């Protein structure tokens, strides 16, 4: 049987696996039959190089797991050094594509041997600043190779990194560094995006200088090379590494305990400040390497491209640790989908012969909007596997992706996971799964999901409930930094025996899982996770704002969009200028991607007599839906005024 192509979105359409692919696929159906410790234990022995072998695969004391207990290893050794030692030093690790695209004179290749030398030098430089095992380091950079090198250099030294997305504000950087008491921050002079420069180091300074900071030294990577203000706190990377050795023996990889901290990554929760998600060394590395290999069917000659940003977990797991642990050749693109031309992505695929593309539904929808002519004008025949991540993918985008990027035949891996899970947990597998557009479908081997109602009952087919995981997996978070209680409250209190993911889900009659989006106050804008609470906090920082509440609505481009409801102090009136000022306020405080798409000014927010904001109503208003019961409101006319503003 051959696979059928389709040009139209067709719900209910299924695509059986290609038998040819099934013959050579890395994933084997029998893996699903293995016990979870058997499966992960086998992978752990085969895939990682250990300085000291582990004694026990898993020690599980809910909610904390320990994987590969007793083992010692180093993530950088597994991602870089061992490939060089195994004779792959000349293999390209990174095809570096700068902002202005693959034709740029600045595009270049970095081999594994070159990567090793750069990492060793960076690590030796960091050592001079007092960085070593257990000393946290902040990273605030764009998609340039030095960002990857910086992360690996930290891993080499055993210094946990915390990467702050380069598009976030300096304030966000300062808060996260202070939380960790990081003394060193690595940044770059300027960002290059869409042909323009944007301040990066100066943004960081603004955040650091706004209050007390733990940061004592800022390492600045030159990217634009333009003059920027430098102080005694700052040192250019070039100067830091001018006299250090690049010989791996000058800076051996620190032997780390399997459960030693590898990195922290802050992510938005439904309340309070961002959560510092803790990831440790062995389980995480094994989880990302195994999933990367089996989900994307990685071969020795694969050319892989994950178009995410290293500032998010996708970049950590599927640009840095997973692919490099697997010794793959990959594309690292600094830029955006539409610059210098709308066909830049397809040019990259053509030039480097990309075989695996991993991106977000939002990016696919942008390309879809621009039209298929751009993809059609390039040779994309190298593509074998496509991946999607970050938000549910609508079937129309799925079909377009398969048809126009995958030549009507490449299988799409719709991968569900989270910052907290560390790696992919629900996904089809190439050569095994019969694909259904818009569904992540199946647990990865060794993963045990369930769908439950609020009372804890397991639900059957077509019943929507909460997604939970009933057994541990290697890359699972090892808590929230210094906040055991919040960790337990957020993930382990809804059900006493399972991890609560915060996503709605249902099984279909075939036992495939469909993810239905967040059920908490987390908003997903273009696959970027934000909390309504954070945006509200940013809005009330403006002097004219008395109160703010934030909801989301569906958006054809970004998946979800932020709608802000704002009441003003005194007799201040809403205006276009104020709307702009508020959006700017949010950009300054969090980052541009958190800017509300719509601002609605209100005399008051809809409150019950006990003073509680009725968020359900705000959601209805934002979505332009019928309102339910409003009789409990103090002033029902508040909502009718708001509705008028939405319908314009």
Residues lying near ligand WT7 in the complex (CB under 6 A) are found at: 267, 312-314, 389-392, 414-419, 440, 501-503, 515, 517-518, 524, 529
Find all residues with CB under 8 Å of 102, minimum gap 6, and list them: 344, 347, 348, 351, 352
Q: Which is nearer to ligand WT7, 187 or 291 (CB)?
A: 291
Find all residues with CB under 8 Å of 372, minimum gap 6, and list them: 400, 403, 404
Q: Which is nearer to ligand WT7, 419 or 532 (CB)?
A: 419
The minimum distance between CB 516 and ligand WT7, in angstroms, equals 8
Read off the DSSP letter of residue 626. Answer: P
The minimum distance between CB 242 and ligand WT7, in angstroms, equals 38
Task: Please state, as a whole number, how many other Cβ atoms lie within 10 Å of the Cβ of residue 259.
Answer: 20
- Angle among Cα 387, 390, 393 to the nearest 5 degrees reads 65
Q: Which is nearer to ligand WT7, 115 or 425 (CB)?
A: 425
Q: Is 155 in a helix, a strand, or coil?
A: helix
Q: Which is nearer to ligand WT7, 330 or 419 (CB)?
A: 419
The minimum distance between CB 574 and ligand WT7, in angstroms, equals 32
Phi first, then psi: give them for residue 316, nearest 5 degrees: -60, -50
Q: Which is nearer to ligand WT7, 74 or 317 (CB)?
A: 317
The minimum distance between CB 520 and ligand WT7, in angstroms, equals 9
Q: Strands (DSSP E) along 105-200, which ranges?
A: 108-111, 137-140, 161-163, 184-188, 190-193, 196-199
The minimum distance between CB 172 and ligand WT7, in angstroms, equals 15
Q: How far apart are CA 498 and CA 450, in angstroms?
A: 9
> Contact, 108 vs 188, CB < 8 A?
no
* Chain position carrying tokens 């909460």: 466
The minimum distance between CB 9 and ligand WT7, in angstroms, equals 17
Q: Which is nearer to ligand WT7, 223 or 528 (CB)?
A: 528
- Hey, what are 557's tokens? 């481009």
- Hey, what are 126's tokens? 């960091």
The minimum distance between CB 530 and ligand WT7, in angstroms, equals 9
Which is nearest to 426 in space by CA: 456, 451, 404? 451
Question: Is the four-CA dihedral 229, 538, 366, 386 of positive or negative sign?
Answer: positive
Q: Which is nearer to ligand WT7, 156 or 275 (CB)?
A: 275
The minimum distance between CB 314 and ligand WT7, in angstroms, equals 5
The minimum distance between CB 237 and ligand WT7, in angstroms, equals 29
User: DSSP readout, 576-594?
Assistant: HHHHHHHHHHHHHHTBGGG
Q: How far apart are CA 324 and CA 51, in angstroms?
A: 19
Read off the DSSP letter of residue 80. Answer: I
Q: Which is nearer to ligand WT7, 275 or 607 (CB)?
A: 275
* Chain position carrying tokens 């960091």: 126
Q: Which is nearer to ligand WT7, 3 or 391 (CB)?
A: 391
């Amino acid at each position: 049987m051959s696979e059928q192509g389709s040009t139209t979105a067709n719900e209910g359409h299924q695509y059986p696996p290609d038998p040819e692919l099934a013959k050579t696929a890395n994933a084997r159906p029998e893996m699903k039959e293995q016990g979870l410790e058997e499966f992960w234990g086998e992978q752990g022995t085969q895939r990682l190089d250990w300085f000291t072998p582990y004694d026990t695969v898993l020690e599980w004391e809910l909610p904390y797991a320990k994987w590969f207990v007793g083992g010692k290893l180093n993530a950088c050794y597994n991602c870089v050094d061992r490939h060089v030692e195994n004779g792959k030093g000349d293999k390209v690790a990174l095809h570096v594509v700068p902002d202005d695209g693959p034709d740029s004179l600045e595009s270049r290749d970095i081999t594994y041997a070159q990567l090793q030398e750069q990492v060793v030098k960076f690590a030796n430089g960091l050592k001079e600043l007092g960085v070593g095992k257990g000393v946290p380091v902040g990273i605030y950079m764009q998609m340039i190779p030095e960002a990857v090198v910086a992360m690996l250099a930290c891993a080499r030294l055993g210094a946990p990194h915390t990467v702050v997305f380069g598009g976030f504000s300096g304030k966000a950087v300062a808060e996260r560094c202070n939380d960790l008491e990081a003394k060193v921050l690595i940044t770059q002079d300027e960002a290059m995006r869409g042909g323009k420069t944007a301040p990066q180091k100066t943004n960081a300074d603004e955040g650091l200088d706004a209050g007390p900071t733990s940061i004592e030294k800022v390492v600045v990577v030159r990217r634009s090379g333009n003059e920027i203000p430098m102080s005694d706190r700052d040192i250019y990377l070039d100067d830091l590494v001018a006299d250090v050795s690049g010989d791996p023996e000058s800076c051996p990889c620190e032997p780390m305990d399997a459960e030693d901290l590898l990195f922290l990554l802050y992510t938005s929760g439904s309340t309070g400040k961002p959560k510092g998600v803790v990831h440790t060394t062995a389980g995480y590395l094994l989880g990302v390497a195994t999933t990367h290999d089996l989900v994307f069917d990685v071969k020795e000659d694969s050319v892989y491209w994950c178009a995410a940003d290293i500032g998010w977990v996708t970049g950590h797991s599927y640009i840095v640790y997973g692919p490099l642990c697997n010794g793959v050749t990959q594309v690292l693109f600094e830029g955006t989908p539409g610059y210098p031309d709308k066909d830049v992505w397809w040019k990259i695929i053509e030039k480097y012969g990309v075989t695996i593309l991993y991106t977000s539904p939002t990016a696919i929808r942008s390309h879809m909007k621009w039209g298929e002519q751009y993809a059609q004008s390039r040779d994309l025949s190298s593509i074998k596997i496509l991946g999607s991540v970050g938000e549910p993918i609508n079937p129309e985008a799925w079909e377009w992706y398969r048809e126009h990027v995958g030549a009507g035949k490449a299988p799409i891996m719709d991968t569900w996971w989270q910052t907290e899970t560390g790696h992919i947990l629900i996904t089809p597998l190439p050569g095994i799964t019969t694909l259904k557009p818009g569904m992540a479908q199946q647990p990865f081997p060794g993963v045990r999901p369930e769908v439950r109602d609020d009372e804890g009952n397991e639900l059957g087919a077509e019943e929507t409930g909460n997604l939970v995981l009933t057994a541990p997996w290697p890359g699972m978070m090892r808590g929230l930094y210094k906040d055991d209680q919040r960790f337990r409250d957020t993930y382990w209190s809804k059900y006493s025996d399972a991890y609560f993911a915060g996503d709605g889900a249902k099984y279909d009659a075939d036992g495939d899982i469909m993810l239905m989006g967040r059920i908490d106050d987390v908003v997903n804008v273009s696959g970027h996770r934000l909390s309504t609470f954070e945006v509200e906090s940013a809005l009330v920082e403006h002097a004219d704002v008395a109160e703010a509440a934030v909801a989301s609505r569906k958006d054809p481009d970004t998946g979800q969009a932020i709608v802000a409801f704002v009441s003003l102090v005194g007799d201040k009136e809403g205006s276009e200028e104020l709307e702009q000022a508020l959006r700017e306020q949010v950009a300054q405080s969090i980052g541009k991607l958190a800017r509300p798409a719509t601002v609605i000014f209100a005399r008051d927010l809809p409150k019950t007599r006990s003073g509680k904001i009725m968020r359900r109503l705000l959601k209805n208003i934002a979505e332009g839906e019928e309102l339910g019961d409003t009789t409990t409101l103090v002033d029902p006319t508040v909502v009718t005024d708001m509705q008028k503003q939405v319908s314009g």
